[in-house]
Amino acid sequence: MDMGGHDMGSMSPPPGAAAAAAVKKMRYTHMTFFWGKNSEVLFTMWPGTRGGMYALALIFVFALALILEFLGSRRLETCLSKLLRRAPAVAGAARTAVHAVRVGVAYLLMLALMSFNGGVFLVAVAGHAAGFLAFRSGLFGGAAQLEEGRKQDDPVCC
């Protein structure tokens, strides 16, 4: 079928498209664990290759894991249950807000781990361990938080 002298199979790209494709930089995403400070964690070009930014990213991931352990601790739940006795509607809203923040932090931490950087992985595990030690083990006051379903003493509130 004649399309007015145009061969549709050999159309060239519009002007400027080839130049845009040449300018566009190809990026590689790791699919296995790797070691190195030149990585992207959570955001494009962050931490990048600037000095000290990788350490800042590791501190951020550590803090996320620590916060996640606190949000799942009995200490926070005890504080919220004391509020429940005074104002049930406010306590329900507070529990819902804490749950939403906890899920958001958990997903953010998961996305950071998907950078497949070995340092990020180790720091996340260390943050969870430090959070467990501080908020769930009973080492710093309060009863140890046992597995779900077991009877335990209520820890002292904040």
Domain ranges of the chain: 38-145+152-158
Which residue ranges in the chain fall short of pLDDT 70? 1-29, 51, 140-158
The pLDDT of residue 120: 93
Q: Can you give the chain as a three-state secondary structure string?
A: CCCCCCCHHHCCCCCCHHHHHHHCCCCCCCCCCECCCCEECCCCCCEECCCCHHHHHHHHHHHHHHHHHHHCCHHHHHHHHHHHHHCHHHHHHHHHHHHHHHHHHHHHHHHHHCCCEHHHHHHHHHHHHHHHHHHCCCCCCCCCCCCCCCCCCCCCCC
The pLDDT of residue 40: 79
The pLDDT of residue 141: 63
